[in-house]
Amino acid sequence: AQRVTQPEKLLSVFKGAPVELKCNYSYSGSPELFWYVQYSRQRLQLLLRHISRESIKGFTADLNKGETSFHLKKPFAQEEDSAMYYCALRRADKLIFGTGTRLQVFP
């Protein structure tokens, strides 16, 4: 069955520290993966997609098919990165979401 696993409910770091939010998936085909972010009092929104191989707000995510992972990374966390992050896997015409990781960045 297709599944997305985010093992950490909460990740706390200090400003300037590196951040890695973990995401593992199970999917039999060629996966399409996404990271969504929800800042306080804002709508859930797309952060980045693996197909684009882009860096958004300093975040990057590399698809590792061998490890079935799509971890989100940022070398130097900022306070404004504090938010809820969801990893998502595309299944046909739907998205399957993980349980989310709350990132707290302390000053």
Partner 1 sequence: DGGITQSPKYLFRKEGQNVTLSCEQNLNHDAMYWYRQDPGQGLRLIYYSQIVNDFQKGDIAEGYSVSREKKESFPLTVTSAQKNPTAFYLCATTRPGGADGELFFGEGSRLTVL
Which of 61, 98, 103, 105 binds partner 1 (CB under 8 A)? It is 98
d(CA 102, CA 104): 6
Those residues whose C-beta lies under 8 Å from the C-beta of residue 92, and which sit 6 or more positions away, are none
77 vs 87, which CB is nearer to partner 1? 87
Q: Which stretch binds partner 1 (CB under 8 A): 15-23, 36-44, 60-68, 75-83?
A: 36-44
Q: Residue count at the site for partner 1 (CB under 8 A)?
A: 21
Q: Could you give the dihedral angle defined by the CA atoms of residues 11, 73, 57 and 40, in that order, rounded to the nearest 10 degrees?
A: -20
Contact between 69 and 31 under an 8 Å Cβ cutoff? The reply is no
Residues in 41-70 at the binding interface with partner 1, rule: CB under 8 A:
43-46, 49, 51
In the bound state with partner 1, the residue whose beta carbon lies nearer, of 67 and 93, is 93
